[in-house]
Amino acid sequence: MAEYDYDVLIIGAGPGGYVAAIRAAQLGLKTACVESRDTLGGTCLNVGCMPSKALLHASHLYEEAHSGALAKFGVNISGASLDLGQMQAEKNEVVSSLTGGIAFLFKKNKVTWLKGHGRFTAAHTVDVDGQTVTAKNIVIATGSSVTPLPGVAIDQKVVVDSTGALAFDKVPGHLVVIGGGVIGLELGSVWKRLGAKVTVVEYLDQLLPGMDGEVRKEAAKIFKKQGMELKLGTKVTGVAVKGGTATVSIEPAAGGTGEKIEADAVLVAIGRRANTEGLGLDVIGLETNARGQIDIDHDFATKVPGVWAIGDVVPGPMLAHKAEDEGLAVAENIAGLTGIVNHDVIPGVVYTNPEFASVGLTEEQAKERGEIKIGKFPFMANSRAKANRDTEGFVKVIADAKTDRVLGVHIISSLAGTMIAQAAQAMEFGATSEDIAYTCHAHPTHAEALKEAAMGVLGKPIHM
């Protein structure tokens, strides 16, 4: 009889866990995945990346049709109206087809889905709702959940987190968003486009922490121009709900005179924290770090032999593609291959309109490491963007002044999320700005702006 039930047991079927499970099975390992949700795919497919992108797309279509923005192209649409029930139904359809797709892939690859909550009872043993399961290797891929704001109770009706804000059944008259990060701006954009007044309250003096300083300043200009009210350097001191409306108390982050804002809905989006509670980590002697995450080594191994961890539950950006790549790598390491993730080249994208995309170092980080050169090219000077009347934004390439190696790329554009892949690939291959500048780019495309920004590093853009 085999020593263990499985070669690999993964706890959590988000982008980290389900990818790890499929790859482990592909590599010939007997694999099971524990997931407590009714559907596979984790936060990303159920209540994160995918439903938010479905609503961003649909709300963009509505805004284009409704606002008269297409009239300048000779496209006159009258009587465009919102059927929010249909928009939500289509989003739900997207989610169920994607989560069902993972169930299909599990079957196809012979991954066993153990439905229930997983909890360690020993280093190689997990209790799944009363069933004892053993495995030679156990991967923790339990993801993250919303960080609560002390004193602000989420009821998913008036005061919601991202999950509630993906499911409103009517457009709030006034939505107050607490937190000017990725979720606040993406979901704030959805409801703004559908007709809500949106006020964003951000503790720091700028939106989008972690992004390049120049990009963050530009973001504030863009969202203000779109009609969002931004209260930067401001903290929320309390939210009181009465009769279906909320009163949000705010004051300057540095202290001072407070004010109150009336809102029909409040979205709390102040970050996410690792899911480690109820996992029985203490039983196997695994502590969490000061940020509540599980520390791992270069191979995604924890300090407990046979126990590995990936995705949002470990340090690094909380992004689906980072979790997926770690899922591939951990499975390969468990199988005795060499699984590596280059954590210096992980793109990040905010899927608003325009999109904000970045990879590598910000200007501020790069300057701390040494002398740099910067090339910038505005979409105002890109012919395709001009033809499409889509000229907002720029590309910024940061290179090492001595070696010309590209250290970071930052893009604001309607197509930034797609364009950043080229920059990531170039950086993965150790490209210089000259390499990008002398790569032939198809004309006319937005991508030419990246080539021109790279030419700018060398001081020689053509169209500026």
By CB under 6 A, residue 317 contacts ligand NAI: yes
Contact window for ligand NAI (CB under 6 A) among 7-15, 95-103, 257-265, 345-353: 345-353
Nearest to ligand NAI of 204, 345 (CB atom): 204
d(CA 409, CA 421): 10
User: Rounded to whole angstroms, what are the CA distances from 314 to 3, 31, 56, 66, 241?
Assistant: 29, 22, 28, 43, 35
What's at 396, amino acid-wise? K
Nearest to ligand NAI of 293, 333 (CB atom): 293
By CB under 6 A, residue 398 contacts ligand NAI: no
Nearest to ligand NAI of 72, 291 (CB atom): 291
Q: Nearest distance from residue 401's CB to ligand NAI, in Å?
A: 31
Residue of 84, 94, 204, 458 that binds ligand NAI (CB under 6 A): 204
Partner touching 141 among ligand FAD, ligand NAI, none, CB below 5 to 8 Å by kind: ligand FAD
Using CB under 6 A as the binding criterion, the count of chain residues that bind ligand NAI stands at 26
Partner touching 279 among ligand FAD, ligand NAI, none, CB below 5 to 8 Å by kind: ligand FAD
By CB under 6 A, residue 203 contacts ligand NAI: yes
User: Rounded to whole angstroms, what are the CA distances from 91 to 5, 11, 46?
Assistant: 38, 27, 10
Q: Nearest distance from residue 452's CB to ligand FAD, in Å?
A: 28
Q: Nearest distance from residue 49's CB to ligand FAD, in Å?
A: 4
x/- letters, 140..179, toward ligand NAI (CB under 6 A): ---------x----------------------------xx
Partner touching 398 among ligand NAI, ligand FAD, none, CB below 5 to 8 Å by kind: none
Long-range contacts made by residues 382-388, C-beta under 8 angstroms, separation at least 24? 382/444, 382/446, 382/448, 382/449, 382/452, 382/463, 383/443, 383/444, 383/448, 383/463, 384/443, 384/444, 384/445, 384/446, 384/448, 385/413, 385/446, 385/449, 387/444
Query: Of 60, 124, 343, 443, which one is the catalytic site residue?
Result: 443
Nearest to ligand NAI of 135, 270 (CB atom): 270
CA angle 406, 411, 417 (to 5 degrees): 105
Q: Nearest distance from residue 21's CB to ligand FAD, in Å?
A: 11
By CB under 6 A, residue 239 contacts ligand NAI: no
Report the residue number whose CB is nearest to ligand NAI.
Answer: 181
d(CA 232, CA 250): 11
Let me know if 443 is a catalytic residue. yes
Cα-to-chain-centroid distance, residue 235: 24
By CB under 6 A, residue 356 contacts ligand NAI: no
Alpha-carbon dihedral 382, 383, 385, 389, rounded to 10 degrees = 130
Residue 150: cis peptide before it, omega within 30 degrees of 0: no
Contact window for ligand NAI (CB under 6 A) among 134-142, 190-198, 312-320, 372-380: 312-320
d(CA 331, CA 339): 8
Long-range contacts made by residues 276-280, C-beta under 8 angstroms, separation at least 24? 276/142, 276/313, 278/117, 278/119, 279/11, 279/118, 279/119, 279/120, 279/140, 279/142, 280/119, 280/120, 280/121, 280/127
Nearest to ligand NAI of 14, 181 (CB atom): 181
Partner touching 235 among ligand NAI, ligand FAD, none, CB below 5 to 8 Å by kind: ligand NAI
Nearest to ligand NAI of 143, 375 (CB atom): 143
User: Rounded to whole angstroms, what are the CA distances from 406 to 366, 418, 453?
Assistant: 10, 19, 12
Partner touching 143 among ligand FAD, ligand NAI, none, CB below 5 to 8 Å by kind: ligand FAD
Partner touching 321 among ligand FAD, ligand NAI, none, CB below 5 to 8 Å by kind: ligand FAD
d(CA 89, CA 83): 10
Q: Which residues are catalytic?
A: 443
| Interface with ligand NAI (CB under 6 A) | 149, 178-184, 186, 201-204, 209, 235-236, 269-272, 317-319, 349-351
